[in-house]
Amino acid sequence: MWFAWTIVGIAQIWTGRYLVHWWRWRQFTHSVLGSLIGILTVAGAIIILKWIDWGLYFDHVHNVAG
């Protein structure tokens, strides 16, 4: 999740802001990075749910907030 939301997220922001002169490449790269963030987020959620035996536990503040 850290990689998806930090590294790829910053790259997506960077492409949206600084590749203005190359509009087609900006749109393509920005869209691919956004899709990658979504895929990595869903994959991470599935991995974590499998790791905790597909149960949701609310015994810690972090679990309730998440």
Q: In terms of C-beta distances under 8 Å and separation of at least 24 residues, what long-range contacts does 5-12 make, across chains too?
A: 5/37, 5/41, 8/33, 8/36, 8/37, 8/40, 9/37, 12/37
Question: Residue 32: which pLDDT band, with cuts at 50, 70 and 90?
Answer: very high
Question: Residue 66: which pLDDT band, with cuts at 50, 70 and 90?
Answer: low
Average model confidence (pLDDT) across the chain: 85
**What is the pLDDT averaged over residues 42-64?**
80
The angle at the Cα of 41, spanning 10 to 7, to the nearest 5 degrees, equals 20
* Predicted local confidence at residue 3, as pLDDT: 83
For the chain, the domains span: 2-65
Give me the percent of the chain exceeding a pLDDT of 70: 95
